[in-house]
Structure 1
Amino acid sequence: MSILLLSGFAIFLQSCVSEEKLDLPPDDNVTNDFTESVAIVSIQRAIQNKTLSENGCLQFFYPIQFRFNNDIQISIADFDGLKDAANNATIAQHINAVEYPITVSKAGTIKTITTEQEFIDVLDECEIPTLRDEFDPFFIQCFDLIYPITMLDIDSNEVTIANKEEYFEFEKQQGFDQQPKFIYPLELFDYAQEGNVLIESPFQLFKTFDTCKKCPELFFEIDSVIVNTYVFKAEFERIDEISYGWYINDEKVEEDGGIENGDNILEETFESGTYTICIRTALPNDDCFTGTEFCQVITVDACPHVSFETIQLSSNSYEFVANFESKDLFDYHWNIYQNDMLIFSELEDSTGDNKLIYQFEPGFYEVCLQTEIDGCPEVISFCTELSIE
């Protein structure tokens, strides 16, 4: 083994350079007290992706002792040195271990980190993506594991996992907030490459994510046109590149998307009831082979309950104000009856103010808000009686 001090933009160890060519200092002070760390791999990735800066939530106190995957050890003296190491990292040569303890500033609070879990917790608190954060969205969508695999449980015991069902059960028992601790090498079936890929480190596993496009995050908005007619409008990235289906209670009702020259809109009229509306897609020529979906639930009252408030303005003048939720979704009439005869009727449509002001002559009246909606068995009505002296 050899030690190298890396500060600023000092010479970095390229994977193609052997130790003999580097004129490294002697091994007298080499330490073996290193812990393999997925957290430090996440740090390198965050620097590469420009999501970790020198003055952000997480700041390190230097020097820090690191070890490469080829057993070369380095002492990094400042953030520039760490940035150099991260930006020059490759699958063949990258930092994969750290010597604890290390001291950091987390959002201005000084903290000493002594374990890998403490390091992971700090990353989570500073919203720096970890292996768990990136593995879960890509697993199944972009690749599958080739079983059997071996993982470490929360107590660092090796567990052999024979199939996908056992994997999910294991992760459930360990807790999905824990990092996936694979024993490498690990073999994957990469959907895009249509073949097996041998993964020899967490760093290489991270790199596998870069070659995969996640399934698009589907989404649609909901608008009510009239009380039982709804318009659903799909909006998401890559919508012009793909084909997707609209589903109502798991029944496909329409194919849509840019490939279909669709309008990304579904309009449907419903009877009363609860409905699950979904859009689903699978991309057979892309990385989203297993597909993805987005669903929302609507409850439709096709024959709504109507009502209004009665406000007395004077001894014989009244204001009536519609106060039901769907009042702007359909037309209705203000009807006034005297002795069971209609003496006044006014249409309230989408341009109206949902109010009626009326001055009465002495007598007995029935004031009604009434409408007819297709599919409803009878006139929908709400009435109140007035006696005017």
Structure 2
Amino acid sequence: MRMIARYISRLSAVSVVGLVAATASGFAQETIKIGVLLDQTGRTSFYSLPVNEGTEMAVEALNAAGGILGKKVELLLEDDNGRPDLSATKARKLVEEGVVAIVSNSNSGATRQAIGITAESLTPQLASANASETLTTIDNSCFFQLGPVESIQISTMLEYAKTQGFKKVALVGDSSGLSVSVVDEFRKYLNEAGFEIIEEQLIPAGAQNAIAQMQRVRAANPEAIFQVAQMGPQAVQFFQAYHQLGLTAPILGTFNLSTPSYLTTAKDLMDGTVFTDAFDPGKEEAASFAEAYEARFGQAPSSLQGYGYDSVMLIADAITRANSTDRAEICKAISETQGLARVMGAKGTGFDFSHGDRRGFHHDGVVVRKIENNAYTPAIFSGADR
């Protein structure tokens, strides 16, 4: 726990005082309950579970350091199966059980449906890793988005693509709602940036392979291929078809490739691919977190655990600054957060909600990383390089 405590000490001087104040006297009987919505059993569990692993690690770290305001932190987990129709029901249950905040570690669709419930009760709701552009357009002053939205990720990747001299490109997504949404955003930004899209394909959900789609890409002969937010089997099929058809154009991927399960399901098929990420291994806070994570689990973390870790630490910091577990006071404290050091984001960036749009990820915080020897490299480009 020594390494974890060292990371906590970097969050803020104010937080440290509150977090360790109860160390000598032990925990008060009452706990501070934080609710979590996650996909434990559904289609997006492959990334929801690692995000939640970081959430649980943060609670362990806080409790080892004395809790918050002298009280132990307790997580209440609810599985929404990644289904929007379940998420609101699960969120209401958490509110009724007295949580002071809800961390949404599920997909964007499920997160969206919970927002109405948290708005009614003024319960702070933090979306750990969701990239949807529209979540903060919903009327809920206590909803906060921590991950980088699609436009920030896209603009960073396009700036990187410009440094490589690419002009004629292909777009390949899949038929999932997330991928279609990101493809639409990519198309808009590519056109505005002067790229020529010479082929566009979607791999259907349930398809046995992506040969037909990638044959059309090969025939178009693009200078680069944007692999756009493909999920699960369709991502693997993309890489399989790419190699089976002998394509050689560079692949520029999106944030989904930071999910480490792809290093197993598409093993040795992704070398040379670059992708956007929010985790910069060279950042001090990220390096400290990675050290603590490896000591705890015996392996290096991906970006996903960092998202979940940061969510809980932001709540802890807000409770400490508010000196209260009142939901409205915590909400207010989060909205006033400015320059709080965190695991996620490029060097020199931190949480900032003081500008009022409830998106806390810095516009320069996205990095581009590469896959080599079936492993992730350090950042090779960042938003600050634009």
Q: So what's the TM-score if we normalise by structure 2?
A: 0.23
As a proportion of its length, which structure holds more strand?
1
Q: So what's the TM-score if we normalise by structure 1?
A: 0.23
Q: Give 1 or 2 for the bigger CA radius of gyration.
A: 1
